[in-house]
Amino acid sequence: MDGRGFGARGLCTAIASTEGDLREAAVAVLRANDVGGWTRPAPRLYPHQWSWDSAFIAIGLAHVDPQRALAELEHLFAAQWSDGRVPHMVFDPRVEDYVPGPGLWASAASSDAAPRGVATSGLIQPPMHAIAAEHVWKIAGARADREFVARIRALYPRLLAWHRYLARERDPDRSGLLTIYHPWEGTDNTPRWDAALARLAVGERGSYSRTDTSLVGASERPSKAEYDRYLWLVDRLRLAGYDDTKIRRDHPFQIKDVQCTAIFAAASHALGAIASKLDMPVAERDEINSWVATSSVAVRDRFDEELGLVLDHDLATHEAIRVRTSAGLSALILPELPSALRERLVGTAFGEDFAGATGLAHPVIPSTSPRAPEFRPRAYWRGPTWPVINWLLWWGLERHGSGERASTLRRANLALLSRSGARFAEYFEPYTGEPLGSIDQSWTAAVTLDWLAAPRGSAPS
């Protein structure tokens, strides 16, 4: 593995007047956030390795240095648990002042399945990794020499073990839908989880420090009440030794997450393509294909005619979560999507609820519908626009032949990202385009690189 030269520090430019400038600035962000073979999501707010961030980062790095892009995934999977789970965070031991740190998780002390040599969290995040691996291989093209393919071959069993963990432990009843145990397993303070969190009787938790609110305005971040619940849920998972069988028995936050599942279906499809190229056994490929089929059908079945979105399912109440967020559009990335459903989802995505909402600075897709009562334009996953989610939906539109819609969305996002001072922000205020959260966020820079490379090869085949 190499690409070590990529680790050189670089300065990020503030204004991008041309696509070339924007590309250069995006590469500089990824260079500056490279901490030696892997990339932190943001310079100060997120100084460790995060799972799905690294997958998106690899998608962007593929256009700069495919070897280094692969190394991003290899570093993450080196911390894989023996049960196959890929932890949502891998801690950098050099960073000691981030809270909550490794002590909250006590992964190695709590579970035999956790790796010994590295501290990790015990949660997961959406499995974007096989999508990233397939993309990196494709973009590498002729640069995928024998050594490169050998590295993919070495990564493949780890990807397979990861998907097997998800199928076995997060969908034990084979519903096709994956269960999440914590808001940190995806989109943190999205209003999709409000009702489930409100039911938790967590009691009074004294004061504690948080890295996020020391760097970003507290009103843009999860509230103390939400964060109390996040920590309380981690306490319970840690006490259960991160053992899925125990967790399933009585964990109070168990939700069938449509976005995580749609990503699993798409990633299984990508894994199947990798398995074919590597000529892996038919039985393995059949197993992978069964996940594609079952999870695709399950997400499609969550479509709600009234909202025009697919909806999560709360296992505690046995009810659909009827909140209008961009996660409800995630069926657009399913490998198998009937055209009638695609048209309904496209209608919602570009209608008044999302990109077509009145008064937006750019016609991009906000995280929560401006017409939803829960919408808050500056608050993290409760309204702002996330380029990384727009990339995911754009990728889905490309894949399903909605090329014109896809290029409209791509252009609108690039216009947002090219604004003076946009600085590859983590998320943006949808009416003003104001950058919010961290600036120089790695996955924002990464998807910008992929958009800039389109249509020269980023669209899925």
| Enzyme catalytic residues | 188, 426
- Among 53, 134, 312, 429, interactor with ligand 2M8 by CB under 6 A: 53
Beta pairing, strands 313-314 & 319-320: antiparallel
CB of 173 to ligand 2M8, least distance (A): 26
Cis bond before residue 377 (omega within 30° of 0):
no
According to the binding rule CB under 6 A, does residue 440 interact with ligand 2M8?
A: no
Question: Could you give the count of Cα atoms lying within 13 Å of 381 in the half-sphere of its Cβ?
Answer: 21
User: Is the Cβ of residue 215 or residue 454 nearer to ligand 2M8 in the bound state?
Assistant: 215
Binding mask of the shown chain, residues 122 to 141, with x at each position contacting ligand 2M8 by CB under 6 A: ---x----------------
> To the nearest whole angstrom, how small is the minimum distance from the Cβ of residue 88 to ligand 2M8?
6
Residue number, 188 or 353, with CB nearest to ligand 2M8: 188
For ligand 2M8, the closer CB: 125 or 330: 125
Between 111 and 444, whose beta carbon lies closer to ligand 2M8?
Answer: 444
Total residue length of the chain = 461
Element (H, E) at 447: helix 442-453
38 contributes a contact to ligand 2M8 by CB under 6 A: no
For 255, which DSSP code? Answer: E
- Give the binding-site size for ligand 2M8 (rule: CB under 6 A): 11
Structure tokens at 297: 């059908």
Q: Which is nearer to ligand 2M8, 105 or 431 (CB)?
A: 105
Q: How many C-alpha atoms does 300 have within 13 Å on its Cβ side?
A: 18
**At its nearest, how many Å lie between ligand 2M8 and the CB of residue 181?**
13
6 is a contact residue toward ligand 2M8 (CB under 6 A): no
**Contact between 81 and ligand 2M8 per CB under 6 A:** no
Residue 257 touching ligand 2M8 (CB under 6 A): no
CB under 6 A: which stretch of 47-55, 131-139, 195-203, 450-458 binds ligand 2M8?
47-55
Work out the number of other CB atoms within 10 angstroms of the CB of residue 41. Answer: 24
Taking the alpha carbons of 57, 59, 62, 66 in that order, is the dihedral positive or negative? Answer: positive
Beta strands in 290-446 (DSSP E): 303-304, 309-310, 313-314, 319-320, 427-428, 435-436
Residue closest to ligand 2M8, measured at CB? 41
E-state strands within 287-386: 303-304, 309-310, 313-314, 319-320
- What are 367's strand-pairing partners? none
Q: Which amino acid is at 415?
A: A
Residue showing tokens 């889905």: 396
Site membership for ligand 2M8, residue 395 (CB under 6 A): no
Question: What is the separation, in whole angstroms, between the first and last Cα of the chain?
Answer: 27
Interface with ligand 2M8, residue 242, by CB under 6 A: no
- Concatenated DSSP letters for 79-133? T--TTS---SEE--TT----SS-HHHH-HHHH-TTS-SSS-B-S------HHHHH
Convert residues 197-236 into a mask of x (bound to ligand 2M8 by CB under 6 A) and - (unbound): ---------------x------------------------
Is residue 193 close enough to count as binding ligand 2M8 by CB under 6 A?
A: no
Q: Which is nearer to ligand 2M8, 335 or 437 (CB)?
A: 437
The reply to whether omega before 100 is within 30° of 0 (cis) is yes
Cβ closest to ligand 2M8, residue 54 vs residue 369: 54
Is position 50 an interface residue for ligand 2M8 (rule: CB under 6 A)?
A: yes
- The amino acid sitting at 101 is G
Do 333 and 290 form a contact (C-beta atoms < 8 A)?
Answer: no
Q: Which of residues 161-190 bind ligand 2M8 (CB under 6 A)?
A: 184, 187-188
Which residues are near ligand 2M8 by CB under 6 A?
41, 46, 50, 52-53, 88, 125, 184, 187-188, 212
